[in-house]
Structure 1
Amino acid sequence: MEGYREFAEEILDCLSRLTALGEERGQEDLTKRLRALEEKLKADHFHIVVMGQFKRGKTTFINSLLGSPVLPSSVIPLTSVNTLLRYGEEPVARVHYQDGREEKVALDRLPDLVTEKGNPENRLGVRAVEVFYPAPCLDDGVCFVDTPGVGSTFIHNDEMAYSYLCNADAVVFMLSADPPVSRAELDFLHHIRSFVDKIFFVQNKVDYIDPEELEESLQFNAGVIAEALGRETVEIFPLSAKTALKAAATNDPRLAEESLLPRFTRRLEDFLLKEKGVALLQSTLKNLLKILNDEISGVELEKTLLLRPWEDLRERITLFREEMSRLCRERDEMMYLLDGDFKSLVADTLDAQVEEFKKETVPVLLRRYDEFCAGKTGLGGHAFQEEITQFVKDLILQSFTEWRYREEEVLSSRFQEITEIYRDKANAIVSRILEKAGHIFDLELTGMEAEIGLEKEGEFWFKLEERQTDIEMFIGAFTKVMPRRISHRILARQNREKLLELFDRHCGRVRYDFFLRLQKSFDSLRVMVYDLIEGTMGSVEKSVDRAVGLREHGEKDVASSIRELDGYLRKMQEVRETLEALTGRLSAASTV
């Protein structure tokens, strides 16, 4: 079966041919639209997030896919920051800090930024690191995300691992041959399931046990996971990332097959095409055919105008410009309504649900907090403070992780509804542009609808480590020498206030994150809606202007121009036939 890469390359070839034709004819607007579509196809990424407990070999697994030890790995819990792997001709990294700064660094700086040893407890305030590398597994739009292992001694690693789940198209859940899947891993898996539908199970380190033990281990893990998820069966891909990495280093195909990695990569490629690749490719094809249709309609209109009597043409052009002016006003009114829908979504949905979340969650948090404190009366002041600090962190993390996912679903659903409404409105205006032009100039111009697709990516991160004030440090030291009952009361009251303060601060962070993302999405939607209409209107108006200019230069130029237009039109139609055939093949491949 044809894969995502093959289809994408054929579409890019058609884009290249059309761009060359547009440049040859001096069609700047056309080439601009084609390049924008090309950039979107090349830049659109499938986010594959690699997760699991610490020391399951996640980083080595990603290195084996890359074919080189690009990311640092170690025998101790190492990765402390989400690391995104994207395709790039030049091996380089871009660091994104929590305060908004960005920094371009060499790959040999990675250990100082993404590891627990180089950046303990993420003291450098790194939000994420993007690594660009010229690996074949990345050049078809795949973005692998290496996350810190959960369940290590570092709570901030768990926070980092959870923080990227909302952006995942699929998760690779890493197990190891020894020990078997644990209760903690099953709990973590249940949490992942609330965010992501597609999960690949990979059992690493199969070279550590003999074949009989491997088969027994696979059956045990598959049975436990299937029962936990309520499935009949679960597919687990056994492999040795270490062996695969060695095979890549020595360019040994036999060793690569022994590692069993190729079986997994083939299944992943199949998923990328069927599950998400088809949607992206179909959307790109539909929008490309729309651009091509606009250009062909414009050329056919230009030919018709060149053959019309000049006096008759002048009257029709005046009527055409009046109709286009009316449609421009309709477009501007629609953009005004779009601004109103943005404000309404923020006020009536986002802000209202943040307040509702506060109202519902605060009493629950305080009840659970008071119950926790009541059960820890036997602890000394220092131990009590340590346990209560950890409990507050876990409570905040759990509350916001679950609610943020639900809110993501609500806002995404509502925004998708708005997108579809304005896509349909824009397509309706496009159809009327062609309908009016065709009616005025006695020519049948067929419209073609376009798709509007937007990416989503969040900026929210958990910040649960707060620096103590001088008074808090004094109280902490003072309570160590006080009677246990009194110190407990002081610490419980102090941390209760901190819990409420931390909760309120995170409400502000998550609200701001969603606001920024909605603002960015609406800005993109405005541009796309405007460009959708302007693309068709611009093609038609430029065709009219070119025809008028040629008619004013005389019949000799007109005859020559018609011959050129016929040649241009023939080449455009050839590309359209290729695209229509490609659309059919893609539809057939997606149903296999």
Structure 2
Amino acid sequence: MLKDFNKSMKLYVNHLRNMEAIARDLDYSLGVKKCGDLLNRVEELEFHVAVMGQFKRGKTTILNYFIGKEILPTGVVPITAITTKIKYGNKPQAKIIFQGDLEKSVDINSIGEYISEQKNPENKKKVKQVEVYLPAEVLENGLVLIDTPGIGSTYKHNTEAAYNYLSEANAVILVMSADTPVGEAEIGLLSQVKKYIDKIFFLQNKVDYLSQAEVEESLHFSKEVIAETIGIEPRIYPVSAKLALEGKVQGDFDKINRSGINKFEDTLYRFLLKDKETYLMKSYGNKLIEIVSALYQHLDFKTNILISDIEVIEEKVNAFKNRLQETMSMKKEVQVMVEIELEEIIKSFEKNLEEFKVQQTKNIINKISQAAKGNKHIHSKELSQLLNQRLELEIEKAYNDWNSQQEVVIRQSYEEITSRLRDKLNEVIVEINNITYDLFKTKIVQPVDEFHLIDRDTFYFKFGSSSAPFLTPKLKDFMFVLPRSIRNRKIISDTLNRVDNEIEKNGNNLKWDYTCKIKDSKYIFERTFQEYINSTVDDLMTIIDKTKELKTKEDSHIQKEIEFYQDRKVELRKIEGEIEALEVMV
């Protein structure tokens, strides 16, 4: 099976190189790029399986089990701040790839210095990704396991880094927890995963924390929620990653059996040995056929232009420009409508934020009052530090919990609106294709893909002077001579008075973050679309100008060019037939 797969991949590589040469001969820059991008993927033959899930669900422990060692760091606080790729290598080693593509080899046991949130907070070391190489059997034949940041942790940039990797993964292992029901963050993640990934494995970890009846209840609930999200009932594997890893490290097969990991492991290995190749062959075969079709269309277009009279070409070009200008006005109207809808998202968020601030101000004042009540007799300096820390902790916790819910809602609302914009813009593209087909008997523009809310994170907590003593020097001197009870009452009063201001300030920071994200995402989408149309039109006009130049020469030159196009079509038909024959064998 593996020999047949490798033979098929070599044929795909040869076909892509030939197609790339044809596209280059035709001055078809988009075709050259498509062939080159797919060629890189096919030649690498890597199959990326990303392990994803919420913070502290056991993703890294699962990975450590599969590689057979506790290589990747785990802990009780968020660990993975950087995406880590685990690949096959003859000996254990690690490579750090920094932003700007600078690389550094490090000892495999020191990778925590780069992927730990504690050692590399908010990625201050500017690490792009970490690659770990191990002589593990599971990693042979091109499998790459990916340790992604946990979503829903205190560190919001971890959630965004996990979302960013989705478009690169071929399959996903989604790790959930038996002791915590599937929540909004996981549903939001699953909704995003389904947009990019066809193959998803579901693990329900930490079953050793519950009774058998509780495990069954948890599995039933998770199946219902996931089925509602993706439209089919999933197969969920109940496991104990902790027990499985202990068994692997200790060589205790009884622990491994009791962990429940064996059933999932068998399914994963069967997929890797059999279905992975089928999945890749179908995926790559379909992409090759798409490129062949695009090359056919391009050849037809150039041929039709070549056999037309110059006067007719001039008339068609003028008609094309006029109709294109009319069509692009449709885009402007749609953009105005979308602008209004995006403003509604921001207004809705502001309304929810105001309600949240009112509610949390009351809750946090109550919690600070309770903390003060139990500690009003301690030293004034200690009381000040305790209440300040409690205030910051409660505000961060409240905003983090609320923001994780809001992000799912806003992301979905944004993508519903931009999907309508995409559909409208694709109507513009259809109209442009109709114009070019009417005039030149070819369709030149591809539909626009989905655009998502950008993942840049500018939100951070800011607490003014709350981390330092907040009394002015003169007032501190005055307070020092007063009895402790009076000093402490003043400290408690000042802390309670700060609650509303700190909640307001951090709420405004969060509102600004979302406003920038939404508006910048819309701008990037519109700019990309416009550049795409402009580039396509420029290519079209270049082809027409070159054709007009060629038609000023002798008829023999034109006939020679037509024969060249026909020969390229023969090559493409042969390639197409061989690809289709391979797909029948899959």
Question: What residue number does 2:569 align with?
Answer: 569
321-330 or 488-497, larger mean C-alpha shift: 321-330
Question: What residue number does 2:354 align with?
Answer: 359
Cα distance change on mapping 1:45 and 1:160 into 2, 3 Å: farther
Distance 1:279 1:286 in 2: 11
Q: CA deviation at 1:421?
A: 0.9
1:177-576 equivalence runs, <5 A: 181-182=178-179, 186-187=180-181, 189=183, 191-197=185-191, 200-202=201-203, 221-227=215-221, 230=224, 235-236=236-237, 238=239, 240=244, 261=265, 263-264=267-268, 266=270, 284=287, 288=291, 291-301=294-304, 304-305=307-308, 313-330=309-326, 333=329, 336=332, 340=336, 343-344=339-340, 346=342, 348-380=343-375, 381=383, 382-437=385-440, 445=441, 447=443, 450-454=446-450, 456=452, 457-460=454-457, 463-464=460-461, 466=463, 468=465, 472-474=469-471, 481-483=484-486, 484-531=488-535, 537-538=540-541, 542=543, 544-576=544-576
Distance 1:113 1:6 in 2: 39
Deviations 1:287-328 (A, max 9, x none): 6355224313124315634xxxxxxx2432332232233244
1:41-120 equivalence runs, <5 A: 48-51=50-53, 54=56, 58-62=59-63, 67=67, 72-73=72-73, 76-77=75-76, 80-85=79-84, 92-95=95-98, 105-108=104-107, 110-115=111-116, 118-119=119-120
Q: CA deviation at 1:415?
A: 0.6
SS of residue paired to 2:130? strand
Output the amino acid matched with 2:517.
Answer: D
Output the amino acid matched with 2:116.
Answer: T
Q: CA deviation at 1:367?
A: 3.1
Distance 1:326 1:35 in 2: 33
Output the amino acid matched with 1:85.
Answer: T
Cα distance change on mapping 1:393 and 1:551 into 2, 3 Å: closer
Q: Work out whether residues 95 and 104 of structure 1, in 8 Å CA contact, stay in contact via their aligned partners in 2.
A: yes
Deviations 1:231-266 (A, max 9, x none): 69862164745777999xxxxxxxxx9796352355
Distance 2:215 2:329 in 1: 59
SS of residue paired to 2:501? helix
Distance 1:278 1:423 in 2: 29
Q: CA deviation at 1:463?
A: 2.8
Deviations 1:537-560 (A, max 9, x none): 35xx62x55554444332443443
Deviations 1:512-547 (A, max 9, x none): 233333332332233334445556x35xx62x5555
Question: What residue number does 1:254 align with?
Answer: none
Deviations 1:40-95 (A, max 9, x none): 978999894534564x7533533566x58796426x54753422135999964345
Q: Work out whether residues 205 and 241 of structure 1, in 8 Å CA contact, stay in contact via their aligned partners in 2.
A: no
Cα distance change on mapping 1:131 and 1:229 into 2, 3 Å: same
Q: Work out whether residues 286 and 450 of structure 1, in 8 Å CA contact, stay in contact via their aligned partners in 2.
A: no
Q: Which structure ranks higher in relative contact order (CA pairs < 8 Å, sequence separation ≥ 6)?
A: 1
SS of residue paired to 1:515? helix
Deviations 1:484-513 (A, max 9, x none): 544322211123321221121122123223
Q: Work out whether residues 452 and 528 of structure 1, in 8 Å CA contact, stay in contact via their aligned partners in 2.
A: no
Q: CA deviation at 1:402?
A: 0.9
SS of residue paired to 2:449? coil
Distance 1:340 1:33 in 2: 33
Distance 1:282 1:339 in 2: 37
TM-score for both structures, normalised by structure 2: 0.70
Cα distance change on mapping 1:113 and 1:489 into 2, 3 Å: same
Distance 1:500 1:383 in 2: 22
Deviations 1:472-491 (A, max 9, x none): 44489979944454432221
Q: CA deviation at 1:407?
A: 0.7
Output the amino acid matched with 2:455.
Answer: G
Output the amino acid matched with 1:459.
Answer: R
Cα distance change on mapping 1:342 and 1:224 into 2, 3 Å: closer
Please point out which of 146, 149, 153 is paired with 1:147.
149
Cα distance change on mapping 1:493 and 1:131 into 2, 3 Å: same
Q: How big is the alpha-carbon RMSD for the aligned residues of Structure 1 and Structure 2?
A: 5.3
Output the amino acid matched with 1:525.
Answer: F
Q: Work out whether residues 463 and 502 of structure 2, in 8 Å CA contact, stay in contact via their aligned partners in 1.
A: no
Distance 1:191 1:461 in 2: 20
Q: CA deviation at 1:145?
A: 4.1
Distance 2:456 2:5 in 1: 29
SS of residue paired to 1:378? helix
Q: CA deviation at 1:411?
A: 0.6
**Is structure 2 residue 175 aligned with structure 1 residue 173?**
yes
Q: Work out whether residues 460 and 509 of structure 1, in 8 Å CA contact, stay in contact via their aligned partners in 2.
A: yes
Q: Could you tell me the percent identity over the aligned residues?
A: 9
Deviations 1:101-160 (A, max 9, x none): 9975445463223226634xx27646875224679979999883433698xxxx846x56
Distance 2:49 2:500 in 1: 38
Q: Work out whether residues 426 and 448 of structure 2, in 8 Å CA contact, stay in contact via their aligned partners in 1.
A: yes
Question: What residue number does 1:34 align with?
Answer: 34
Cα distance change on mapping 1:317 and 1:200 into 2, 3 Å: closer
Q: CA deviation at 1:419?
A: 0.9
Q: CA deviation at 1:19?
A: 0.9
Output the amino acid matched with 2:461.
Answer: L
SS of residue paired to 1:453? coil
Question: What residue number does 1:253 align with?
Answer: none
Q: CA deviation at 1:410?
A: 0.6
Cα distance change on mapping 1:452 and 1:356 into 2, 3 Å: same
Q: CA deviation at 1:285?
A: 6.3
Output the amino acid matched with 2:52.
Answer: V
Cα distance change on mapping 1:129 and 1:551 into 2, 3 Å: closer
Q: Work out whether residues 94 and 103 of structure 1, in 8 Å CA contact, stay in contact via their aligned partners in 2.
A: yes
Q: Work out whether residues 5 and 140 of structure 1, in 8 Å CA contact, stay in contact via their aligned partners in 2.
A: no
In structure 2, runs of 5+ residues without a counterpart are: 167-171, 194-199, 226-232, 252-260, 376-382
Distance 1:475 1:79 in 2: 37
Q: Work out whether residues 450 and 532 of structure 1, in 8 Å CA contact, stay in contact via their aligned partners in 2.
A: no
Q: Work out whether residues 114 and 129 of structure 1, in 8 Å CA contact, stay in contact via their aligned partners in 2.
A: no
Output the amino acid matched with 2:456.
Answer: E
Aligned length: 527
Distance 1:72 1:375 in 2: 41
Distance 1:571 1:271 in 2: 31
